[in-house]
Chain A
Amino acid sequence: MIEVCKLIKLFGAKKVLRGMDFHAQEGEFVALLGPNGAGKSTFLRILASLSRPTAGEVRVAGYKLPGQAAAVRARLGVVTHQPLLYGDLTAEENLRFYGRMYGIGDLNTRTDEVLELIGLAPRRRDLVRTFSRGMQQRLAIGRAILHDPDVMLFDEPHTGLDQDACDMLDNVLREVAARGRTVVMTSHDLARVEDLATRFDVLSRGVITASTGRNELRGNLLDFYREALAI
């Protein structure tokens, strides 16, 4: 579903990704771990076609980036630590706006489904700027799954959320993954991703230094992570 080969990304003279290889199969939930500045967000922005790779090959859902970016975007849902929502529109209006941008057919039905799924149906007519950070993040997930994408990218979705909001977000993430979508999520919260992901990749200094499946993980994730960073 996602194939990345020898990916290089330069910002001026600074090399952020240094020949990175990455693969994710259909239905996998990959947690991409790494310290600040490792290139996790840059990598997700390239997968999302928001940034051009300097060199290397990137394919998402069979389509090549950046050449077939529009086809990739139609099959991609993205959630970042910013909600990408308009505060002066209601929850329903935000979803309907993005639904029109994605050309969703039966928008009324789909908006109702998504609002029910994320638990915001009772607040559908409230302005987003009145929402808590946790509610905004749930609506952001609703925005990202509205067009039923095959691949979901989450860039540190737990950032700024309290414990209850994180738990609620995790439930929504499990629902998203249970529908067979391929998920790539960056996070610093090892305890949370340990329960959610089926595979853990560690990105350090622009390359994947270690990768393991949840079933193959020996010991706990923190030890695996520390060992990977030491490589």
Chain B
Amino acid sequence: MDHRPQTQKQKPPSTVHRPSSATGFARAVFAITWKDLAAELRSRELLSAMLVFALLVIIIFNFAIELEPKLRPVITPGVLWVTFVFAGTLGLNRSMAIEKDRGCLDGLLLAPVDRSAIFFGKMIGNLIFMFVVEMIILPVYSVLYNLNLFIPGLLLVILLGSVGYVAVGTLLSSMAVQTRTRDMLLPILLFPVIVPVLLAAVKASGGFLQGLELTEIIPWLNLLAVYDVIFLAVAYMVFDYVVEE
């Protein structure tokens, strides 16, 4: 027996515009990035943690390693990238935890947009935070070690390396955040996967700092660029499955 009552009231015609997929994707990416930046501007939780950690790392290295001036260009790429990677991991973890802890990730997943827009929105936000930290760390490092790091080639390496690192990191942090051990799990998942980008970034950075020929550096730049493209494509294809229950 059907006990369902008949509808008594009709819904008035909707006055709300439905999104089109063509512009919806870009709008969603922009909205998520804007939201992350606006929230961070108020709380300063994520940037301050990343920045303090990065500064501590380079200061500890400064005390721990007494570098001869001629050795500095050789050691600096390793120190710089270890600093960026560890500080970045803090940011990646926190960025996704904010979404998960208040259930906001569900709010994002409920939006009628391609879910890879969520990935790109979060990734661009994380990338901006990473660049801010890098742009503060570079002059501090330059002063501490008396080494000019504002070389256009090195800045290009930092750009390419950061894109690859943040692309993989955002994807893996969205997986790790679903687990109870997310803080431990992210580095364990992330560090083996970013070995190629870290290796290429350190080698290319060292090449520019040591003044090597461009022909010796270009293969590493190519590796970075290929890695970026591959992981952006992989994230675009798999993000929907990663975040689904």
Contacts and interface: CB of A to CB of B under 8 A. Distances in A.
B5 A50 contact: no
Contact of A101 (B38, B102, B113): B113
B103 A73 contact: no
Contacts of A97: 31, 34-35
Nearest to B12: A179
Interface string A111-126: 0000000000000000
B70 interface: no
Nearest to B118: A101
A180 interface: yes
Interface residues of B, number: 47
Q: Mostly helix, strand, loop or mixed at chain A's interface?
A: loop
The 5 closest A-B pairs by CB, nearest first: A103-B19, A180-B11, A27-B7, A105-B17, A82-B103
A27 B24 contact: no
Contact of A78 (B10, B16, B110): B110
B11 A85 contact: no
Given A89-B35, A103-B27, A199-B3, A180 B12 contact: yes
Interface in B1-53: 3-12, 14-21, 23-24, 27-28, 30-32, 34-35, 38-40, 42-43
Interface in A40-73: 45, 48-52, 70-71, 73
B106 A87 contact: no
A97 B32 CA distance: 8
B82 interface: no
B108 A147 contact: no
A66 B57 CA distance: 47
Interface in B139-192: none
A216 interface: yes
Interface stretch (A159-167, A184-192, A207-215): A207-215
Contact of B5 (A52, A70, A150, A213): A213
B219 interface: no
Interface string A138-151: 00000100111010
Contact of B107 (A88, A93, A143, A212): A143
Contacts, number: 141
A84 B102 contact: yes
B218 interface: no
A103 B3 contact: no
The CB with the most chain A CB atoms within 10 A, among B10, B21, B112, is that of: B112
Given A70-B113, A93-B38, A103-B18, A28 B103 contact: no
A98 B111 contact: yes
A51 B12 contact: no
Contacts of B107: 84-85, 98, 143
Interface string A178-203: 11110000000000000000110000
A215 B16 contact: no
A213 B4 CA distance: 6
A199 B5 CA distance: 8
